[in-house]
Amino acid sequence: MYTNGPPPPQPPHYPPPPHPPGSAAQQQQQQQQQLPPPGHPSQYGWANPQRPLQQPPLQQPPLHVPPPLQPPLAAAAAAAAAASGVAPPQQQQQQQQQQQQQQLQREEEEAERWGTPAHATPTAPEDRWGTRTLRVYERGVQVGEGTYGQVYRGTQRATGRAVAMKKIRVNKNQTEGLPVTAIREIRILKRLNKTTRTGSSSRGHPHIVELIEIVTSKGVEEEDDGGLEDKREVEASGCVFKGNLFLVLEYVEHDLSGLLDKSYKFGPALVKSIMCQLLGALQFMHGEGFVHRDIKSSNLLITNHHVVKLADFGLARDMRSDSTGDKHPAGENGAPEFTNKVITLWYRPPELLLGTKQYGSAVDMWSAGCILAELLLGRPLMPGRSEEKQIAKIFEMVGSPTPELWPNREYENMVHWDKFRPEVPMMGRLEKELCKVRSQPASQPAS
C-alpha cells in the first residue's frame, strides 16, 4: 500500500474488438445504439411529430383473486349465518322463488273461478283481462289526478316496463259500484285496443293509448296509497270492501298542455305531424262508431320521439249502437240524444253551447281545429271564462251563424239561441282576413 507520492500508472484500457461485419452480434449492437434510453419521450411519439401520438402504458397492479371457498369454510359460514338468523344467499333465492310460485298459483286458482287466465300476456288482448293484483306492479310517484282518483307512474316487476296506473276509487257512495265514466272508458278502450280496420286482433291504433290490463288492490291494500283508509271507511258502513281498480296503461313521457306551458316551440313540420296523427286516431275512432267528446291539449300525450297518443276516454260514447251497454234516448225526430255538458269549455263547439243534444263526430273536429290553432299560437285560441263569454269569442272569431254556413237555420231552434244571439250579425276576424287576401291583386310571376 502506497502512502506517499502519486499512485502507480494504470494499464491502458483497450475497447473490445469489433464484431465481424454482418454477424448477428453486430446487428444486435447496432439496434441497441439506435434505441433511446428508457422513459425517453420519443418512445411515445412526443418528440417526433411524424409518429402518431401514443399514451404511455399504465402500470396496473395485478388483480388479487381470492381463493375459492373451501368446503369447511363454507360450512362454517352457513353455520354462522344460521346462528345469526340470516339465511345464506342461495337459500334466500330459493325462498323467493317458492313465494313467487305460491303467489302465481293463488292467482291462477282465483282466475280459474272467473274463467280467465291470470298469466295473460300483452300480445293476446282477448286473454289479458285476468284478476291479478296490484302486487304485479311497483307503484311510483303520482303524475296526475282526475275526478275519481290519481294517476301514478309504475313499473312491471317481471319485465321492468314503465306503465301509467290510473286509480279508480270504489267508494260506498256509488250506487252502481263504479263510476259510469270508468265503465265506459274500460269498455271502449278494450274495443279500440282489440279492433282494427281489417277486423284482426292486435294492439289497436298506434295513436290511441293502450290499455294493458286491469288490476285490483284487494288483499294488498297496503300497497295502495290510501287503500287501508278506503277499506276501513267501507267496512265501517257495513259493506264489503272489494278493493280499488287500477287501469294499467302504456306510459307516455309528456302531454301537449305541459309542453305548451313550458313554451316549447313547435315548428311547421312538427305541427303537421301532430295533427296528422291526431286526425288519424279520430278517423279510426269515428269509423268504429265512437266519439271522444273531450279532445284537449292535456289529453294528447306525446313521446320523446313526437309520437301522439290520444288518452282519457271517460266521456267517450258509442254513437251508433248499444254495444257498450249505454242507452240512447231519442228526441222528437227519432234521433238519439246525448248530454251537451261535455268537452272542456275552450274546446267546446258552438252547437253544444247553444244547447243541442243531437250531434255526432263533428264535435271532435271542432276541438281538433282548436288544437291546431293552439299549436301555431302557443296558447289557447278562445279561452272563455263562462259559456256566454265563450260563445261571444266564437262569434268574434268566426262570425255569427248564417243560413249559408248553417243550413236549414237549425241554430234558431236550439235552446240557448235567444239567450246568446248577437244583436246584429257579426263578421268574424277570420272572414275579414280572407276578404283582405281575396281583394289583393295576384302577384305577377317574375320574368
What is the set of active-site residues? 294
Side-chain-facing half-sphere of 41: CA atoms under 13 Å: 5
What is the residue type of 20? P
* Cα 122 to the center of its chain, rounded Å: 16
Residues 352, 340: contact at Cβ < 8 Å? Answer: yes
Q: CB within 8 A of 67, min separation 6: which ones?
A: none
For residue 195, give the amino acid letter. Answer: T
| 238, 274 Cβ separation under 8 angstroms | no
DSSP per position, 255-274: EHHHHHHTTPPPPHHHHHHH
Q: Looking at 6-46, list the stretches that DSSP marks H as alpha helix, in order from N- to C-terminal side.
A: 24-34
Q: Cell numbers at residue 263, please?
A: 313554451
Nearest Cα neighbor of 431 from 402, 388, 389 is 402
| Sheet architecture: strand order including 137-145 | 137-145, 150-156, 162-168, 245-250, 211-216
Question: Cα–Cα distances in Å, from 241 out to 61, 173, 248, 344?
Answer: 64, 13, 21, 34
Which are the contacts of 131, defined by CB distance < 8 A and separation ≥ 6? 107, 110, 111, 114, 116, 118, 216
How many CB atoms neighbour CB 375 within 10 A? 21
Can you tell me whether residue 379 is helix, strand or coil?
Answer: coil
How many CB atoms sit inside 10 A of residue 331's CB?
A: 11
